[in-house]
Structure 1
Amino acid sequence: MAEETGEAGSLDRLLPTLRPVRAGNGFEEALEQILQVVRLGLVPGGGRLPAERELAGLLGISRVTLREVLKVLQDQGLVESRRGRYGGTFVLPRTGPSDPFELRRRVADVDIEDVLLFREVLETGAAGLCASRGLDGEGADRLRRALASTHEAHLPDYRRLDTLFHLELAELSGSPSLATRYAAVRATVNDLLDCIPLLVRNLEHSQHQHTAVVEAVLDGDEEAARAVTREHCAGTAALLRGFLA
C-alpha cells in the first residue's frame, strides 16, 4: 500500500475503479476514472500514480490522451508532474473546504439522502454476498489486512484507509458491477465527509463495527454481516445529516 513516500500506487488497489473506456468518450471517461482514484484516496497525498504506460493500458487509451487528462488534473491543482529518475505524476494532498460558502455549494449539489441510501444498499449487499459466498484463503487475508490497516491508521490517514477497507469488501463480493458502483458512490460520500470533523469516539465505534462485519463474513453469517453493515451506514448517515442538513 502506497504511503506518502512517493511509492507508486498499487495497480491492484486501482483495478476496481479503472477499466477500459468506451470508444468516442475516451478523454472524458478516463478523466472521470482518474478523478475517482484521487477523490477516493486510492493514491494518497504525496503518492505517485502508476506509470503512464500502465495507466494508458488499463484505460485502453493512448498516452497522448492520458497526458491531456493529467494536464487537466494538474491545472486543477490535484496532481503535479515531476521530472527525473524518481519523477512521475504525484497526487497533491487534499484539504477540506475552509470556506463555508464552498461547503454549502458542495452540499447543495448532492442529494444526500439518495447517496446515503444507495451506499447502504451497496455496502450491505457486498457484506452479505461475501458472507454467503464465502471467501477463499487469499480473500480472507485481504480483508483481514484491510481491517488491520484501519486499526493502525493515524488520524489524518484514517478516512483513506477506511475507504480502502470498504472497497476491498465490495471487490470481494464477486460482483465487478457492484464494486464499480460502490467506488463511484463512495467518492461522493468522501466529499461529504471532508466537510465534517473527524470524531475520535465515532471512529472507535466504527472500528468495532468493522471488526464485527469481518467476523460475520468469515463465519459465513450473512444475516449478521448485513445487520452490522446497515448499522454502520446508519451511524455515518446520522453524522452527515447532523452536520450538513
Structure 2
Amino acid sequence: MVKNAARLVLAGWVAVALTLAGGSAIAAKPSAPSTASPTSAATKSAAKSCAAEKSRVAHARNAVRKANQQVAKAEKAKKHAHGKKQKKAAAKKLAKAKKKQRAAKAQLTRAQAALKKCRSHHHGGDGGAANPLQPFCDAGLPQPICDAFATLPTPPSGGASPIQPLCDAGLPQPICDAAKNPPGPGGASPIQPLCDAGLPQDICDAASGGSTPPDPLTILQQVCDLGLPLPICDLPLRAPLRHQMIA
C-alpha cells in the first residue's frame, strides 16, 4: 500500500513537471517572422500614392487635345463659311468649341496642381525631384508650363533632341531634353502638355518629329512674349543670330 501510494505521488509530480516544462517551451518559442516588411510596404505605397492624380492628368490631357482639335476644325469651318447665315452658325460653333477648350484646360491645370501637391507630399516615392524648368518660370515663363513639365516622364540621358537648335538659340534646355521622350498617346508630341499649358504649339509640333525645327527667331519671339527674357528678345541681337542660324 505504502509503495503504491509513493509511486502514485511520484507519477503525479512527474506529470506536473512535464506540463510546466511544456508550457515554458511554448511560451519561449519565437513567433514566426512577418512576411510583410514595413519598409517595402511603405515603398510600394509611396510608388502608388500619386497614381490616381497621374491618371487624372492623362485624361485631362486627352480632353485638352480633343478640344484643341475641335477649335481648329471650327476655325477652319468659319474661315470657309459663305453667307451671313453660314458665318453666324460657324461663329457660334467656334465659340462653343472655345468654351469647351477653356474648361478642358482649366481641368488640366487643376489636375496638374493636384499631382504636383501629391508629389510634394511623397518626396522620393513618386518623384520628388526639383523641377529643372522651374527657374525659368521664376524668371517669367508662365507657371502652368512648369506645372505641366513636372508631369512629363524623365527623358533618356542619351540621344539628340529634335528641337535642339531652338535651345541652342535660347530656349530652356529642359524643354529640348523632354522632347527626346517617346511620343504620347496617339502619336502626340512628347511635350504636348507644355503647349497645352501655353508654350507655342510650333515647338511641340517640331518635337513630334513631323516637321523640321521652325525658325528660331519666330518661335523664340513668342516665348519672349510669354514673359521669359531671352538673349534673342533684345532686338539688336536678333539679326546676327538669324544670319548665324541660316548659315
Q: TM-score range by the shorter chain?
A: under 0.3
Output the TM-score relative to the length of structure 1.
0.23
Structure of higher CA gyration radius = 2
Output the TM-score relative to the length of structure 2.
0.23
